[in-house]
Structure 1
């Protein structure tokens, strides 16, 4: 069980865990209780009405947040052809390679947030399955990270495209900005994610699809959101 910090306890004492907060009120409270020591992330947990035990109902996808997530994203690209290498360089990829990149990742020489690969390089990337898989970083066509369009994919990753997948409890976890973002920007990022999730709704999912939305900061407790205030 996650240990409660002093800040979490403070927020719990100052808020109502049973209440569904207006989106605007929740953002004001999160900002009020945010630490001054560093720029915390704004995180969202979205409980979906899916049966995660059934593979056809599991959700995975990606969407471009209009205001990014407030930090620099480091991208590693596996590319073989001269065309794809040039695209990766032009788009601002941080690391580009093949076997040499495999060795750097194995030896923990580099730090990165996302791995993108062309289809022809996947046999090489497959050697990193035990390293990338547990971290959710293995390139996947469904997540748009196995692609021929290297330039666009890298560019989107650098400016704020996030990838998501539900956990075993059917919950999507994502960062949608920083505490110093304008409330309007945080809301627009959240809306972009919700629109993407609604488009990804499996036909087998019955009843309420988006069951609960909780916003929190890196060091803070969560606030449930009244979905009727999201528009």
Structure 2
């Protein structure tokens, strides 16, 4: 796909949507054909790095003890140590609220089993089971990568909407992000199985790209 043509379509979608009282996201809407989205062959569950970023911040939750806990608290307001992780187990409502406040989660490898046992039902159903962070990893770099990434998780229906940024970003930057998403999806679902691709703002009308 041609980046300039994609950027032109994105600009068309943004221009057609009046300004709102909030900054709209821009979504790429993929429709697939002749694929079983429940099969492991085509199921999508991946974090994709957007080369031009998300255009807005996200909250990342962390399960960690010790030094990682201290470092994480400088980067996030949602950090739980081992005891706190376990203490939430008796209050499902509290866990659901906590999970809804974070876009994604990270965890020390040593706490993964505890998180799975106590939080698995809540986080698993939302596609938010934490990513393990190696002990020697640069937490600042890990946060930076995840803050500029988007999670793509398919369901049963043969379609998926992926945020590629916000309307405050330039069409060229959004086009570059869309191409990154397309490239990653194409690794799992071949181009010939992509029926169509649209782009739209949160409340705007879709504009067909292909």
TM range (shorter): 0.7 to 0.9
Q: Secondary structure at the match of 1:108?
A: helix
Distance 1:85 1:70, change over 3 A: same
Counterpart residue number, 1:113: 103
Q: Which runs of 5+ in 2 are unaligned?
A: none
Per mean C-alpha deviation after superposition, the further-off stretch among 103-112 and 120-129 is: 103-112
**Which of 149, 155, 160 is 2:144 aligned to?**
155
Counterpart pick for 2:80 among 57, 75, 97: 97
Aligned-pair RMSD on alpha carbons? 2.6
Q: Which structure 1 segments of 5+ residues have no match?
A: 1-21, 140-144, 227-231
| In the alignment, structure 1 residue 39 sits paired with structure 2 residue 27 | no
Instruction: With the length of structure 2 as denominator, give the TM-score of the two structures.
Output: 0.78
**Superposition map of 1:2-13 within 5 A:** none
SS of 1:213's partner is: strand
The equivalences for 1:11-50 within 5 A come to 22-37=5-20, 38-49=22-33, 50=35
Aligned to 1:137: 128
Which SS does the other structure have where 1:57 is aligned? coil
Hey, what's the Cα distance between the residues in 1 that align with 2:97 and 2:38? 34
Alpha-carbon distance change, 194 to 128 in structure 1, aligned in 2, over 3 angstroms: same
User: Alignment length, in residue pairs?
Assistant: 193
Q: Secondary structure at the match of 2:169?
A: coil
Q: Quote the offset at 1:81 in angstroms.
A: 4.1
SS at match of 1:163: strand
Distance in 2 between residues matched to 1:107 and 1:196, nearest whole Å: 30
How far apart, in 1, do the equivalents of 2:209 and 2:50 lie?
20
107, 113, 124: which one aligns with 2:114? 124
